[in-house]
Amino acid sequence: MPERIVIRRENPDQPEVVALLAELDSYLESLYPPEANHILDLQALLGADVDFFVARDGEQAVATGALRRRAGGSDTGGVPYGEVKRMYVAPAWRGQRIAAQVLAVMEVALRAQGYGLALLETGRHQAEAVKLYERCGYTPRAPFGGYPGNGLSAFYGKAL
């Protein structure tokens, strides 16, 4: 990752961040039908149960990621978890391992809050995302959190 990149918690309602989220939404809409896109909208990202992270090169927002803290259910053996959401790197910034760094920062934040489990849902057509998560130690798992097993989603988890 370039040394000039800084990753920190920020509000997602900043214009340049909203633009990145709109790029992500457009990309996902090109791959999946609406019912298969499990997107947290801006209002949800502003919720008290979400930590939102932005990677910046100086003032320029280049990547995002969010953590949604969740209570454990039967699909996690009652273990509370952090759900990884809204991971996105602007196309011009890809290939520099920025997403892996955002993910690492979010995992540190989860551990600091007492969470020992990170889970995520991603689309099967997003080969780059699947490779990222697997490279970062996430392993395939069953659906969780009410997500349907629709054949379009891939589910991953990692003990922290």
pLDDT digits over 34-48, tens only? Answer: 888 889 999 999 999
Per-residue pLDDT, 36: 83
> What pLDDT digit, counting tens, does each position of 53-97 carry?
999 999 999 999 999 999 999 999 999 999 999 999 999 999 999
Query: Which range of residues forms the domain containing residue 152?
Result: 5-159
Please give the angle made by the CA atoms of 17, 19 and 23, to the nearest 5 degrees: 115
Strands (E), the chain: 5-9, 50-57, 60-70, 81-89, 117-123, 139-140, 153-159
**Per mean pLDDT, which range of 6-20, 32-46, 47-61, 104-118 is the poorest?**
32-46
- Identify the band that residue 137 occupies on the pLDDT scale cut at 50, 70 and 90: very high
Cα 91 from chain centroid?
Answer: 16
Per-residue pLDDT, 2: 55
Count the domains in the chain.
Answer: 1
Predicted structure pTM score: 0.94
- In this structure, what CATH number is given to the domain that contains residue 136? 3.40.630.30
Instruction: Count Cβ atoms within 10 A of the Cβ of residue 124 and give its class: 0-12 exposed, 13-18 middle, 19 or more buried.
Output: middle
Q: Per-residue pLDDT for 149 more than 70?
A: yes
- Identify the band that residue 3 occupies on the pLDDT scale cut at 50, 70 and 90: low
Q: What percent of the chain has pLDDT over 70?
A: 98
* C-alpha–C-alpha distance, residues 132 and 30, integer Å: 21
